């Protein structure tokens, strides 16, 4: 079951080693309707990743509310694939599942085009393939919420394009409530349903952009036009 995300971070402060503090987030509210696909965009260091970590329960030192039922299954795709190098691709996928032996990863492998890779070790994979496995691992638990932390950085354009299509495909098929962090506006315009623009530190949402056109119908011209509008309206936030 998809559940809505309703995150509210009143304040998140980082304490430096020498006692100084940096306020990373202030009064940030993120809402993603159940089954929706929202992209978070903002300049680097604006607390995007921090918000994801708080949402996933990886960082509990903050003021605010997460607003997710405690039994929510969260699939997390990290910026680096973070696979276990000593386990095969298939074992990496099985690991996160509640019943690793009962889990049949074959349909997922088929969806992600990883059929031939199932017995390989992560060290043998290219970054693009490892990212696909990482996405597959997040989907293996049949997540209610899918969190993508810059899943497409440092990929070449062709690989990134394929992975983008793949993300859209699995999202449409399984409909987890999806929240993606990116600093690439084109990427967000191509695959998200909705974009939240964040202002830098302490970060907060400055505007929401709805993208009603289905992903398949968004061509180069559409993406370019949307981007120009965004750059014009928010020159400091959108590159």
Partner 1 sequence: MVRTTPRPSRSGSRSPKGLTAVLSAATFFVVWTLAAIAIERNVLPPPWVVAASMVDEAVSGDLFFHLSATLSRVIAAFVLAMSLGTAIGFLMGRYRAIDSVLDVWLIVLLNLPALVVIILAYVWFGLTEAAAIGAVALNKLPNVIVTIREGARAFDPELDQMARAFRLGWRKRLFDVLLPQLQPYVAAASRSGLSLVWKIVLVVELLGRSNGVGFQLSMYFQLFDVATILAYAISFIMVMLAIEILIVQPLELRANRWRVRTH
Task: Kindly state the helix (H) or strand (E) to which residue 196 belongs, with its residue range.
Answer: strand 194-199
Residue 120 or 174 having the CB closest to partner 1: 120
The distance of closest approach from Cβ of residue 143 to partner 1 in the complex, given in angstroms and rounded to an integer, is: 10
How far apart are alpha carbons 51 and 74 in whole angstroms?
14
For 203-220, the DSSP string reads BEEEEEEE--S-GGG--H
The interface mask with partner 1, positions 83-122, x = CB under 8 A, is -xxxx-------xx----------------------x-x-
Residue 127 or 205 having the CB closest to partner 1: 127
The distance of closest approach from Cβ of residue 28 to partner 1 in the complex, given in angstroms and rounded to an integer, is: 20
Q: Does 219 bind partner 1 (CB under 8 A)?
A: no
The packing angle between helices 89-96 and 127-140, to 10°, is 30
The distance of closest approach from Cβ of residue 95 to partner 1 in the complex, given in angstroms and rounded to an integer, is: 6
Residue 40 or 209 having the CB closest to partner 1: 40
The distance of closest approach from Cβ of residue 84 to partner 1 in the complex, given in angstroms and rounded to an integer, is: 6
Tokens 């993406």 found at: 223
How far apart are alpha carbons 7 and 153 in whole angstroms?
25
The interface mask with partner 1, positions 35-74, x = CB under 8 A, is ---------------------xxx---------------x
Half-sphere exposure at residue 111, Cβ-oriented, CA atoms within 13 angstroms? 22
CA R_g for the chain = 18
The packing angle between helices 157-174 and 127-140, to 10°, is 10
The distance of closest approach from Cβ of residue 121 to partner 1 in the complex, given in angstroms and rounded to an integer, is: 4
User: 208, 194 in Cβ contact below 8 A?
Assistant: yes
List contacts with partner 1 (CB under 8 A).
Answer: 56-58, 74-76, 78, 80, 82, 84-87, 95-96, 119, 121, 123-124, 137, 141
């Amino acid at each position: 079951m998809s559940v809505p995300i309703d995150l509210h971070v009143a304040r998140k402060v980082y304490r430096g080693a020498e006692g100084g503090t940096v306020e990373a987030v202030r009064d940030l509210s993120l809402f993603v309707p159940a089954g929706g696909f929202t992209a978070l965009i903002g300049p680097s260091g604006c607390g995007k990743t921090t918000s994801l970590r708080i949402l996933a329960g990886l960082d509990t030192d903050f003021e605010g509310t997460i607003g997710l039922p405690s039994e929510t299954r969260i699939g997390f795709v990290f910026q680096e694939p973070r696979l276990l190098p000593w386990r095969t691709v298939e074992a990496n996928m099985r690991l996160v599942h509640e019943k690793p032996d009962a889990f049949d990863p074959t349909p997922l492998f088929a969806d992600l085009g990883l059929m031939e890779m199932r017995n390989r070790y992560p060290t043998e994979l290219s970054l693009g393939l490892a990212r696909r496995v990482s996405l597959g691992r997040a989907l293996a638990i049949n997540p209610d919420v899918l969190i993508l932390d810059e899943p497409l950085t440092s990929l070449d354009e062709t690989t990134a394009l394929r992975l983008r299509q793949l993300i859209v495909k699995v999202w449409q098929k399984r409909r987890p409530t999806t929240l993606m962090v990116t600093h690439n506006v084109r990427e967000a315009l191509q695959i998200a349903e909705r974009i939240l623009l964040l202002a830098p530190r302490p970060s907060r949402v400055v505007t929401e952009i709805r993208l009603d056109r289905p992903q398949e119908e968004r061509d180069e011209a559409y993406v370019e036009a949307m981007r120009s509008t965004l750059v014009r309206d928010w020159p400091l936030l959108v590159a």
